[in-house]
Each structure stands twice: as structure tokens, then as C-alpha cells.
């Protein structure tokens, strides 16, 4: 069910939500968190689709703030049009879409306070344009977790650098979440080889190759540098391919995980036959759902962006 509320307020929207619940159309119990989506105009539906899918694992109230241009019309300078989506149009969530112009286009705590679930954690998500400092923003300051996506920034490397400079416990980035399967595969392979190789398994060099527009490449190199105490070299590949190759050199040979396409990778280890591994790019829904599983700070991510990134060098 979709209910439109043109030229409204968040207080009126909250009252309508309660009316829908009283009428039996909405089940409010069991919501485990409030997900605040700070979207960009024209991209909000992609974010809503991903949030709806994630809500089936994490029932929540989803508040989507969308700043819109008012075309210079003074009479519409400060306007909010709301839409409530429940039932089949909202997964396991209640979705409130707020299209705001004028001063309301800048989201802050007082604007959204009436819609936040009481006594429930708040997660803030910027799907497209990461803020300069997520924790210092009005919504970020009250959120338990803050999710950005440097991969969608105009300059992913610059965005990732700013995250490292402004990192606050509770920050995370979907470029890091996309690495989960890579990290699992590499950790298992290298730990096995080092355990079997003794001194020959000592890591002497790290090389990571990936697309120039892939912040995940930089994060993976930074994570490996911290894990093994060796500075990583980063090589660029054409845009859009993601991570292409990881080579971890040891005294006894190299462990190489290469992915020439976007789905199947090859793992090569000294003394063993090559292995084919399914390593597809993770979907936005998968990454968001993973981040919503934890509300405590991701300490490993914090160390990677603050201590690991300076250890990486570009060729």
C-alpha cells in the first residue's frame, strides 16, 4: 500500500503511520532499528529497493530523505511531500519517503525526530554522495552506525582518504563490505600456506591490482599491509572491473588470487594445482544486509582506513 501526503510535516506523517497501524494495515512491532537513507534525487529508488530487501533480514523503519529542486518558486521554498509505503511495497519495513526543498532539503535531527523509532538503534546511510565528515553531520551524530559508499563518489580515492582523516567509531563504507569474500579466501589460503611452509611462508611482498575507480582495491591492499606488516604496491586496471589480482609473495613462492572477469577467480599456491573459485561482485542488497547485522563499531575497518592506507603505494 502507498499513501501520498503532499505538503505535509513529519508530525503529520507519524500520525498517519499510527492511524495505519490502528487500522490493521501496518504491524509496527518487531522493528529492530531505524534506517535513515540520505539519498540523492533520481537515485532513491535503487536505495529503497536494496533497503527493502535487507529489511527482510532486519525488520526496520526506513526513512528516505530526498532533496529536490523547487525551480526557484518562492511559494514552494520550504516544502515537504511525503509518501508512506507499507505491506507488499515495503518488504518487512515501513518506508517513509520525504521529498524536501528549501531549508528542508538539508536533513537534520529536528526534521526527522518525529519519525525515529523510540529506543531503537539508528543507522544512517549515504548511498551516493558521502559527506565530508559523516559523524559530524546532524544525522550522523545521533546514529549508532554510519554507512557511506566511496565507490559512488566523484573521486573514490579522495572520498576514501577523507574517511580515513575523519574516521569515528561507528563509521563504515560499502567498499569495505564488498571485500568480505576476498578477505575470507585470502585469509584461508595464506594461513594454510604459512602454516605448512614454516620460514618459507614469511610474507615478503604484496601486490594488488584493481580498477582505478575501485576504492575496494585500496582497502584490500591496506588490510593486507596491516595483516602482514609489509607495504603493499597497488597497480591500476581499467575502470569498472573491480579487483583483478592479489599476489602475496613469500620466501617459498607466491599465493596469487586473480579474477580476470567479474565472477570466477583462480587461486594459485606453490606446490598445489590451481583452484577455480566463485568470486562474483556482491550486490548492494547483500552488502547493506551485512552491515545491518552489526551495530557495534567495526574496529578492523577503522584500523585499515587510519593506519593501513598510508602503507600503500601506487605504481
| Domain end among 141, 174, 207 | 174
CA atoms within 13 A on the CB side of 197: 22
Question: What are the pLDDT digits (tens) for 161-220?
Answer: 999 999 999 999 999 999 999 999 998 888 777 666 555 568 899 999 998 889 999 999
Residue 99 and residue 49 in one domain: yes
- Give the count of domains, the chain: 2
Flag the least confident range among 19-28, 39-48, 165-174, 213-222.
Answer: 19-28
Q: What is the DSSP letter of 309?
A: G
Residue 158 and residue 193 in one domain: no
Contact of 51 with 95, CB cutoff 8 Å: yes
**Cα distance between residue 14 and residue 17, in whole Å:** 5
Q: Which residue range is the domain that position 188 belongs to?
A: 180-314
Residue 184 and residue 158 in one domain: no
Summary count for the chain: helices (H), strands (E): 10, 15
Residue 133 and residue 260 in one domain: no
Flag the least confident range among 71-75, 111-115, 130-134, 293-297.
Answer: 71-75
Question: What are the pLDDT digits (tens) for 291-310?
Answer: 999 889 999 999 999 999 99
Residue 212 and residue 277 in one domain: yes
Contact of 33 with 58, CB cutoff 8 Å: yes
| Domain end among 174, 194, 219 | 174
pLDDT of 260 higher than 80: yes
Which pLDDT does position 23 carry in this prediction?
73
Average pLDDT, the chain: 88
| Domain end among 174, 206, 224 | 174
Q: Write phi, then psi, for 246 (nearest 5 degrees).
A: -130, 125
Question: What are the pLDDT digits (tens) for 107-117?
Answer: 999 999 999 99
Residue 74 and residue 102 in one domain: yes
Torsion of CA 278, 271, 200, 301, to 10 degrees: 0
Residue 7 and residue 150 in one domain: yes
88 contact partners, CB below 8 Å, separation of at least 6: 1
More confident residue, 200 or 145: 145
**Cα distance between residue 2 and residue 48, in whole Å:** 14
Residue 222 and residue 240 in one domain: yes
pLDDT of 149 higher than 90: yes
Residue 27 and residue 167 in one domain: yes
Whose grid coordinates read 519495513? 93
Residue 156 and residue 245 in one domain: no
Residue 145 and residue 188 in one domain: no
Residue 310 and residue 226 in one domain: yes
Amino acid at each position: 500500500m502507498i499513501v501520498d501526503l503532499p505538503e505535509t510535516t513529519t508530525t503529520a506523517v507519524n500520525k498517519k503511520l499510527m492511524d495505519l497501524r490502528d487500522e490493521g494495515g501496518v504491524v509496527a512491532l518487531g522493528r529492530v532499528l531505524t534506517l535513515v537513507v540520505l539519498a540523492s534525487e533520481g537515485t532513491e529508488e535503487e536505495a529503497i529497493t536494496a533497503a527493502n530487501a535487507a529489511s527482510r533480514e532486519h525488520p526496520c523503519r526506513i526513512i528516505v530523505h530526498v532533496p529536490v529542486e523547487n525551480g526557484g518558486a518562492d511559494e514552494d521554498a520550504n516544502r515537504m511531500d511525503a509518501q508512506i509505503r507499507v505491506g507488499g511495497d515495503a518488504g518487512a519495513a515501513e518506508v517513509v519517503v520525504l521529498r524536501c526543498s528549501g531549508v528542508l532539503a538539508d536533513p537534520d535531527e529536528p526534521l526527522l525526530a518525529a519519525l525515529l523509532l523510540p529506543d531503537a538503534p539508528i543507522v544512517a546511510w549515504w548511498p551516493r554522495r558521502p559527506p565530508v565528515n559523516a559523524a559530524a553531520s546532524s544525522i550522523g551524530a545521533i546514529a549508532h552506525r554510519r554507512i557511506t559508499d566511496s565507490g559512488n563518489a566523484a573521486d573514490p580515492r579522495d572520498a576514501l582518504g577523507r574517511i580515513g582523516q575523519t574516521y569515528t567509531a561507528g563509521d563504515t563504507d560499502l567498499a569495505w563490505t564488498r571485500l568480505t569474500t576476498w578477505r575470507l579466501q585470502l585469509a584461508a589460503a595464506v594461513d594454510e600456506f604459512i602454516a605448512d611452509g614454516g620460514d618459507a611462508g614469511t610474507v615478503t611482498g604484496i601486490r594488488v591490482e584493481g580498477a582505478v575507480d575501485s576504492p575496494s582495491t585500496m582497502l584490500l591492499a591496506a588490510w593486507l599491509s596491516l595483516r602482514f606488516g609489509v607495504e603493499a604496491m597497488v597497480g591500476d586496471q581499467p575502470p569498472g572491473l573491480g579487483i583483478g589480482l592479489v599476489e602475496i609473495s613469500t620466501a617459498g613462492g607466491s599465493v596469487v588470487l586473480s579474477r580476470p572477469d567479474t565472477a570466477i577467480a583462480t587461486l594459485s599456491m606453490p606446490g598445489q594445482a590451481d583452484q577455480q573459485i566463485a568470486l562474483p561482485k556482491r550486490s548492494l542488497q547483500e552488502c547493506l544486509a551485512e552491515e545491518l547485522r552489526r551495530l557495534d563499531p567495526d574496529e578492523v575497518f577503522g584500523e585499515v582506513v587510519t593506519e593501513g592506507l598510508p602503507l600503500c603505494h601506487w605504481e
